[in-house]
Structures are given as structure tokens and as C-alpha cells.
Amino acid sequence: MRYLKSNIHYFLVVAEELHFRRASEKLHVAQPAISRAIQQLEDQLGLSLFDRSNRGVALTAAGQAFYAECQAAARIMENAKLKAIRSANGETGQLLIGYTDFAINGPLPRLLANFHHQHPDVTIDLVRKDSHTQLEELEQGKIDLGFLTGPIKSSSISHHIIHRASYVVVLPLDHELSKLDEISLEMLAEEEFVLGDNNTWRHFILQLNTYCIKAGFTPKISRQAPTTESIFGLVAAKMGITLYPDFDLNHNRKDIAIRPVKNSHAYMNLEAAWHKQASNPAVSLFLSANQIQLTA
């Protein structure tokens, strides 16, 4: 059975006021119109909602029960409205974020914490993906935000540098070079390198090769591994050394040494990236929460 929304609204006001004239004044609706609406509602229900007498208006037992349920329904509808508004504003829902090892070992945990503190009702899902795949999936709308290695050259992707990291040398704890406070890049020309695999670390390897070539050598790769921890593990096992961006590394390894590169002016850019036509409003909230520029 369908009821006119206006009839229900009129009923609620009359039930609150228990006076048709006061209800008319409150609703700014003529009293006869309200009386007709209540009568239509009673006819639909097949019962009386009000006792009308010279002494005034009172809810019947049926009217009291109907009033309680209508109030509950009104609260549900108001809550549904608020949830819809919050969802449209990106304050609820889901945010799918791609990340690289550099991001999760750098500033990303802090950015996630900032956002979660301000918008705890948005579910954040993280997926580890290389930079190239993140760019593809941003283009296709498969992820909402990416944290990846720059540079980014796409007309449809907005991006913002969130961290510029110089390079450090990571080497076994008892390596001869670990005795130095700084290590010049040229001193690594004869060293064997442990690097990420070519598929998932391609952006970084390209930059690293360019960096080393400018110093007069190409890295001699002895081992490749898929993750930061596995790379560092191989370094600790004396399989080689590596170069890594100077992030605040989230690890407590005691079996490696980390030294800055002497007189280096090279940097690796970690960037936040999102589609210019991103439809998920939570993207803008995330960027705003972390004071990341909305345009690039």
C-alpha cells in the first residue's frame, strides 16, 4: 500500500501538535487540506488515527502505534539522506590505492594515517604494483590513486611530487666501504649490484642506470629481487651492494650499512598520481587531507 508523502507529513505534525489549527499554522497549509489528507490516510488504513471531540484531538491506540512507526521511518530516511550526502562527498565508501616499495618505505604510511584520522569511514584498500602498472590502471579507472616513481608523462594523469629523495649506498655491514662516512658514486664502478627485477622496478632501474652512466660506469648486476626487503636481504648476505632512495626506511635491519652518496645532486621523485577525471570523490578528500595540490 502506497501513501502520499504529504499525507504522512501532515499526520506527523498533527500528532505532534494534537491541534489542527496549530498544525495548519506550522505547515502553512489550509486547515481543510490537512483534514482531507488525514481522512485519506485513515481511509487507506481502514481505521481511525485520531479521536476528534469538543475537548480536542487525541491519538487513538492505532494512531499512537502508527505515529511511532512513522517517526522511526522518518529517522531512517533522514539517516539515508545523510549517508547519501556523505557518500557523494567522498566521506564514506572505498579508496583503492596503488603503491610501490619506495612509497610504503617512505611517506605513504604518514599520508594514510592523516587521511584515516580525518575520514575514518572511508575504507582504504592497498595494492602493491609497479609504477608502469599503476599508470595503466589509473588510465583504466581500476585504481583511484597511485604512489609511484616519476617522471610521469601522461596527458590524462594529474600528479604531484610528494618526496624528493637523494640516493644512498646500501652495503653489507662489514664491507670495506662501510667504514666511510660518505661514498662517491665512482667508487662503486667495480662493485656487483643487487637490484629489483626488470618488470616491477623498470622505472627505477632506468633512472639508476642513467645516474651511474653519468659517473662513468654501468652497474654490474649480480642478483635481482622483487621487493626491498629481499634486496636488502641479499645485500646482507654479501651478494652485492645497491643504491636506494634516501627515505625514512621502515625497517630495523642490523646487518646492513647505509651511507650517503658524496657530492650527489641526483634525486628520485616519488609522486602521487590520479586520473584528471577521477569520479571517486574520496580522491579529492585524500589529496586535501594531505595538502597535495589538486592539479599538476
Identify the pLDDT of residue 252: 66
Strand-pair category, 157-172 with 122-128: unpaired
CA distance 42 to 52: 13
Q: What is the pLDDT of residue 296?
A: 44
Grid coordinates in use for 211?
Answer: 645516474
What average pLDDT does range 116-129 have in this prediction? 92
Rounded Cα distance between 242 and 287, Å, is 33
pLDDT at 56 over 60: yes
The whole-number average pLDDT for the span 284-294 is 85
Closest CA to 97 of 293, 292, 280, 294: 280
Query: Counting beta carbons within 10 angstroms of the beta carbon of residue 72, is it exposed (0 to 12), middle (13 to 18) or buried (19 or more)?
Result: exposed
Task: Tell me if the domain spanning 5-88 has CATH number 1.10.10.10.
Answer: yes
In this structure, are strands 93-99 and 122-128 parallel, antiparallel, or unpaired? parallel
Band (pLDDT 50/70/90 cuts) for residue 27 is confident
Every domain of the chain with CATH number 3.40.190.10 lies at 93-162+270-289, 166-266
Q: How does the average pLDDT of the chain come out, rounded?
A: 89
Could you tell me the end-to-end alpha-carbon distance of the chain, in angstroms, rounded to an integer?
A: 55
Helix pair 108-118, 281-289: axis angle to 10 deg: 110
Type and span of the H or E element at 249:
none
Question: Residue 164: which of 292, 289, 274, 271 has the closest Cα?
Answer: 271
The one-character DSSP state at 291 is T
Domain with CATH 1.10.10.10 in the chain: 5-88
**What is the Cα–Cα distance from 51 to 258, expressed in whole angstroms?**
85
Superfamily of domain 166-266: Periplasmic binding protein-like II (3.40.190.10)
What digits encode the pLDDT tens for the residues 57-107? Answer: 899 999 899 989 888 888 888 877 777 777 776 666 889 999 999 899 889
CA separation for the pair 172, 254 (Å, rounded): 10
The stretch 141-151 carries a mean pLDDT of 94
Residue 148 pLDDT > 90: yes
pLDDT at 71 (0 to 100): 86
Largest CA distance in the chain: 106
Within the chain, how many helices (H) and strands (E) appear?
10, 11
In tens, the pLDDT along 131-144 reads 999 999 999 999 99
- Is residue 240 within 8 A of residue 191, CB to CB? The reply is yes
Q: What is the pLDDT of residue 294?
A: 54
For residue 6, pLDDT beyond 80: no
| Residue 251, pLDDT above cutoff 80 | no
Homologous superfamily (CATH) for 93-162+270-289: Periplasmic binding protein-like II (3.40.190.10)
Q: By the 8 A CB rule, do 78 and 64 touch?
A: no
